[in-house]
Amino acid sequence: MSSAMTTATLVPLLTFGLAFVFGAAAQRTHFCTLGAVADINAFGDWRRMRMWALAIAVAIAGAHALQQMGLLNLGKSFYTGTAVPWVSHLIGGFLFGVGMALASGCGAKSIVRAGGGNMKSWVVLLVFAISAYMSLKGLFGVWRVTALDPWRWQTGGLGATQSDLSSLLAAVGGWPKATISGWLPYLIALALAAWAFASPNFREQRDGVVGSVLIGATVAGTWYVSGVIGYLAEDPNTLEEAFVATNSGRLESLSFSAPLAYTLELLMLWSDKSRVVTLGIAGVLGMLAGATVMSLLTREFRWEGFTTREDLAHHLVGGALMGFGGVTAMGCTIGQGLTGISTLAIGSVLSLAAIIGGAFCALRYLAWRAEYA
């Protein structure tokens, strides 16, 4: 029992440290999913998209290296189930992308900006957390469960036991999954890294390169914390397999949609001793702390508020859309765009594509609004 209690403390502490590094690196390098899309949309500048690609490459390689070594099984995460809620991934991802454009950043970026003194981001995070909680356990959750989640694609129809790319390719081609998973993740990671480094402008950004590697490594590191340090082959209370200090009770890494809701729940029900700091909550707090410290060290900390009523309205709507969309899509730009993608889950690919599509559409709307309003 004491060992399990110690692990329940160690997992959040280590996750806090990894998220601290993530937040500091994101603040220092201006790592931002929306920024990457906006730079392409407005200027044709792909540098921040290359940062994201390199971070994904490191996350994929790191996560699958841990799996290859037999330290963890990515199939025990909720990303790779055989029932893929494809409508939820597409609609939730699209709404999240629209929301992050309206709110000037995704959940992770809002945390980073909040750490730098941006009061608009604090408002976004509050609305995001409320909307996400309603999507988990409230009114929005009823809509999600009854209207969207039932639309599922069963990968078992192809003979695949999981919904990651290696399993699907093995099922379709009739090859051993172990053989494919031994080279496919690294081939994808190598291709992404090669594309990122193909740009001389990107290679010259030393901070961007180092920051991207660190961010990708924190995702892989959190997989290790959850799947190795936090793993119990037999929980002393239930006598079943368990992953300590995770909200889902399964293997987890960094994400910021549902964890924001759980952070709000913990603050609201603080006197309820059954509520504890989990891996997800520790990730939110670590990200905020890292961004705050880095913004102070670089003297970039400054207070910023809303300028117009329309600005406020956009951020309120954006936060609400991100809360619902992030939970519905089973993750945000980090939860799906880095953590989920690191498992090569087909659902994560769908969510990420929808997020980018939604962001592009919303950015076009905002550009039109600015020109003709």
pLDDT tier for residue 371 given thresholds of 50, 70 and 90: confident
Q: How big is the CA angle at 147 (ends 145 and 150), to the nearest 5 degrees?
A: 65
Give the pLDDT of residue 1.
Answer: 42
pLDDT surpassing 90 at residue 28: yes
Q: Take residue 154 and report the two structure tokens written for it.
A: 């069963």
CB atoms within 10 A of CB 249: 14
Q: Tens digit of pLDDT for each residue in 68-95? A: 999 999 999 999 999 999 999 999 999 9
Task: Please state, in angstroms and rounded to a whole number, the distance separating the CA atoms of residues 208 and 202.
Answer: 8
Q: What are phi and psi of 77, to 5 degrees?
A: -85, 170
Which residues, in sequence order, are CB contacts of 217 under 8 Å at separation 6+?
58, 59, 62
pLDDT surpassing 90 at residue 342: yes
User: Exposure string (b/e) for 257-287, b if CB count within 10 Å is 16 or more?
Assistant: bbbbbbbbbbeeeeeeeeeebbbbbbbbbbb
pLDDT tier for residue 291 given thresholds of 50, 70 and 90: very high
Beta strands in 100-236 (DSSP E): 153-154, 231-232
pLDDT surpassing 50 at residue 34: yes
Task: Please state, in angstroms and rounded to a whole number, the distance separating the CA atoms of residues 312 and 179.
Answer: 52
pLDDT higher at 273 or 327? 327
Which residues, in sequence order, are CB contacts of 144 under 8 Å at separation 6+?
88, 92, 135, 324, 327, 328
Task: Please state, in angstroms and rounded to a whole number, the distance separating the CA atoms of residues 109 and 97.
Answer: 13
Residue labelled with tokens 């390719």? 169
- Does the pTM surpass 0.85? The reply is yes
% of residues, the chain, pLDDT over 70: 98
Q: Tens digit of pLDDT for each residue in 184-233? A: 999 999 999 999 999 999 999 999 999 999 999 999 999 999 999 999 98
Q: What is the DSSP letter of 304?
A: B
Q: Tens digit of pLDDT for each residue in 151-180? A: 999 998 899 999 999 999 999 988 888 899
Which residues, in sequence order, are CB contacts of 67 under 8 Å at separation 6+?
73, 74, 181
